[in-house]
Structure 1
Amino acid sequence: MLPSITKSKCQLDSTFIFCSQHSQVILFFISLYLVAIGQSGHKPCVQAFGADQFDEQHPKEQRARSSFFNWWYFTMIAGCTATLSILNYIQDNYSWVLGFGIPCVVMIIALTVFLLGTTTYRFNIRDNDESSFLRIGRVFIVAVRNWQKTLSSNTIEEECDGTLRRQSSEQFNFLNKALLTSKGSKDGKTCSLSEVEEAKAVLRLVPIWATTLVYGIVFAQVFTFFTKQGKSMERTIFPGFDIPPASLHSINGLAIVLVSPIYDRLLVPLARTITGKPSGITLLQRIGTGIFLSILTVVIAAFVEIKRLKTAQEYGLVDDPNATVPMSIWWLIPQYFLFGVSEVFTMVGLQEFFYDQVPNELRSMGLALYLSIVGVGSFLSGFL
């Protein structure tokens, strides 16, 4: 925070109230939104860019791409786990400026290293200059215009160009009407079958996106409710040192760091020998396993909360929100650890699923849809 130029009204009469000047608050929120904008461009694009470095037509590289998503999440969480405890301690005991300055310097170094490899990267060149968003949007518009028309079976004779892994065209048949000439179209241009299949591929993601919002809600609880639980519990490790409640997030990261190599090196090869699939199990099975583990996490958290409230009642601390309940913060380890295991299945599975199921030119958007699950889930968790 910037130092106050004038004495704040919050510090008059030898009292101190937590408030800031309007200019400081405005600058603070501008900084938060700048971080959000930067993350919106960085997170979906850099991961899609990394996965694009593997050749889908090469069997060995195709298997390596599946492992890429595992190790991407592994390294990201490993970095978060290493810095969480350190930065939380620095921010709580030294300076917030230093706590934010360290990751700023690290990001500058990371950007420099990334740019140094520009000449070695593999780029996918688009054959069509038209935006994929425009093509998909035109499919929906033309299909709506032609909703009263009937579509004969002879109309669908065009073959896909091979850029999209085609599924059954029997799904979302109403979009096939985009193959007909629209009366409202000035140039009489119709949509190709490949464009219709692109729109169908995006539409197929909607049910998965909607059903996994529940996982996004649980994901938000780890950083909100779990932290509030820890803040009210006994956090003293040894005299003179209290563990910051947010530092327990490192347990979540530790679970991911431990389980990710086990999953990639042991579970996947074992499942591959049984199912014959390169990924061992299907992506939907992987996502579903993680959602089931998240349900168990919430159940454990509920029992811990019952125990915490019962202890608070026994000591008459229910009406004192600032009191420390005589219950060790280590009670929270199981729920943090189990949810970390669920992330290995669901979060990584969602990344690969949304990358794999969209047209090549929309893969960044696919990963953005994956990230929106966490974002929308966080907003929905506010109603709990």
Structure 2
Amino acid sequence: MQRSFISHNFIVPPASLQSLIGLTIIITVPFYDRIFVPFITLLQRIGTGLALSILEAAVAALVESRRLHGPKGAVVPMQVWWLVPQYAISGMSDAFTIVGLQELFYDQMPESMRSMGAAAYISIVGIGSFVNTGVITVVQGVSSRAGGGKWLGDNLNRANLDKFYWILAGMSAVNFCVYLLIARGFVYRTVEEHDVRRLERRGGGAGGRS
């Protein structure tokens, strides 16, 4: 891609694009807190993040397909800014999903198990990394046996990265459907119940000391 910015003397480093995710999260969280939190439930906010992850992978697939299959089938030398939308969607997805999961594990876990809930939340990221590695290995093995070359080859102009993105979009869609099935049976632990139990414990303790 053409990575020049303002002038040909300044080239955007590819790794710096990851900063767009963090920047989008910083911008999204205040809107998340003021607009979405009062009007949609916790599980709906997490579901919104999962739905955005589908859109993220689909946009990435469309952009890469457009780059590979331009006019007359030629590779199109796109500007680096074509990647901004998918990174921005990724940041919004993280803002909804990660913040929502933190709230879920903190607010809905029993008070004595909150530390375990925080550990469970962190473990999700680790498990996702292992699954991602496994998916890449499987895709590389299957695509190389098909005879069309590896989808994730070193030469991106000869690879099929767009097909890999479509696989990620499909997996995200399946994940979203499973989440919806599980979320339908979830029962919120209300604040009133939590406060009553805490007051009962405090009252019982005070009575025992007296």
TM superposition score normalised by structure 2: 0.58
Q: Which has the larger radius of gyration?
A: 1
Residue 3 of structure 2: aligned partner: 235
Q: Map 1:255-294 to 2 at 5 A.
A: 255-269=24-38, 271=39, 281-294=40-53
SS of equivalent residue, structure 2 residue 109:
coil
Of 81, 84, 87, 1:330 maps to 81
* Alignment-mate amino acid for residue 2 of structure 2: E
Q: Which runs of 5+ in 2 are unaligned?
A: 137-210
Q: Which runs of 5+ in 1 are unaligned?
A: 1-232, 272-280, 316-324
Of 315, 339, 343, 2:94 maps to 343
Q: Distance in 1 between matches of 2:115 and 2:70?
A: 48
Q: Deviations over 1:267-295 (max 9, x none)?
A: 334x2xxxxxxxxx322111111101111
Residue 69 of structure 2: aligned partner: 310
Q: Deviations over 1:47-100 (max 9, x none)?
A: xxxxxxxxxxxxxxxxxxxxxxxxxxxxxxxxxxxxxxxxxxxxxxxxxxxxxx
Residue 372 of structure 1: aligned partner: 123
Q: Distance in 2 between matches of 1:242 and 1:379?
A: 33
How many positions carry a matched residue from both structures? Answer: 133
* Alignment-mate amino acid for residue 359 of structure 1: P
Q: Distance in 2 between matches of 1:245 and 1:380?
A: 24
1:351, distance to aligned residue in structure 2 (A) = 0.8
Contact 2:105 2:114 in 1 (8 A): yes
Q: Deviations over 1:218-262 (max 9, x none)?
A: xxxxxxxxxxxxxxx221112222111121122222221222112
- Structure 1 residues 362 and 268, CA gap change in structure 2 (3 angstroms): closer
Residue 249 of structure 1: aligned partner: 18
1:345, distance to aligned residue in structure 2 (A) = 1.2
Residue 144 of structure 2: aligned partner: none
Contact 2:36 2:45 in 1 (8 A): no
Contact 1:311 1:326 in 2 (8 A): no
Specify which structure has the bigger relative contact order, considering alpha-carbon pairs within 8 angstroms and separated by 6 or more residues: 2
Of 104, 111, 118, 1:353 maps to 104
1:330, distance to aligned residue in structure 2 (A) = 0.6
RMSD after superposition? 2.0
Identity of aligned residues (%): 56
Q: Which has the higher helix share?
A: 2
SS of equivalent residue, structure 1 residue 234:
coil
1:311, distance to aligned residue in structure 2 (A) = 4.5
TM superposition score normalised by structure 1: 0.33
SS of equivalent residue, structure 1 residue 241:
strand
